[in-house]
């Protein structure tokens, strides 16, 4: 009986161990991962500027890629104007890994007020283009959020 119980437990562990969500291109979807209060407390201490942003005109989350399957973010409160390159580039000074940003965003009640905006940051030496394939990757990573492509952020052009 002990062998059967141990075998059942081992099978259960193997089955549950394979339940993580990974997309076809190995880009992890982290929007469905539950967040504990202790995780949020640590994130509040590490990134206090991203908590309690005003949502009246939405929250703009700028996302850039640093290496294969490595995405970083910064957020700004929404306004009625386009952000300058300097504002967007300065987000690298307080960059957050995408998986942590998703946890931070879970503290906001309405996903419709959050806009994911891909951009290219000069700090990244990883070559990528903001094209349809890239947008699809971000849609998988930030499932349930609106991914908005702004053509002015596709490269390093002057504003």
The answer to whether residue 5 is domain-embedded is no
The answer to whether residue 16 is domain-embedded is no
Domain containing residue 27: 23-153
3-state secondary structure of 87: helix
CA atoms 88, 91, 97, 103: torsion sign: negative
The answer to whether residue 13 is domain-embedded is no
The answer to whether residue 11 is domain-embedded is no
The answer to whether residue 4 is domain-embedded is no
pLDDT in tens, the chain (159 residues): 444 433 333 333 333 333 333 333 444 444 556 889 999 999 999 999 999 898 888 999 999 999 999 999 999 998 778 888 999 999 999 999 999 999 999 999 989 999 999 999 999 989 999 999 999 999 999 999 999 988 665 554 433
The answer to whether residue 158 is domain-embedded is no
Question: How many domains does one find in the chain?
Answer: 1
The answer to whether residue 106 is domain-embedded is yes
The answer to whether residue 8 is domain-embedded is no
Q: Write down the number of H helices and E strands in the chain.
A: 5, 5
Kindly report the length of the chain: 159
**pLDDT score recorded for residue 34:** 80
The set of residues, in sequence order, having a beta carbon less than 8 Å from that of 104 and lying 6+ positions away, is: 40, 43, 47, 50, 51, 75, 96
Helix-strand-coil split of the chain, %, nearest 5 = 40, 20, 45
* Structure token pair of residue 146: 């609106």
Q: Which residues pair with 64 in a beta bridge?
A: 72
Strands 96-97, 146-147: pairing is unpaired
């Amino acid at each position: 009986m002990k062998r059967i119980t141990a075998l059942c437990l081992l099978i259960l562990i193997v089955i549950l161990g394979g339940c993580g969500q990974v997309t076809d291109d190995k880009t992890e979807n982290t929007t469905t991962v539950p967040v504990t209060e202790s995780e949020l407390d640590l994130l509040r201490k590490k990134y206090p500027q991203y908590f309690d942003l005003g949502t009246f005109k939405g929250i703009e989350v700028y996302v850039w890629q640093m290496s294969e399957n490595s995405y970083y973010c910064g957020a700004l409160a929404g306004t009625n104007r386009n952000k300058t390159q300097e504002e967007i580039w300065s987000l690298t000074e307080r960059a957050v890994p995408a998986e942590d940003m998703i946890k931070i965003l879970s503290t906001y009640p309405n996903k419709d007020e959050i806009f994911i905006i891909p951009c290219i940051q000069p700090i990244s030496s990883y070559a990528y283009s903001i094209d349809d394939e890239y947008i699809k990757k971000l849609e998988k990573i930030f499932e349930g959020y609106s991914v908005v492509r702004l053509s002015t952020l596709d490269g390093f052009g002057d504003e």
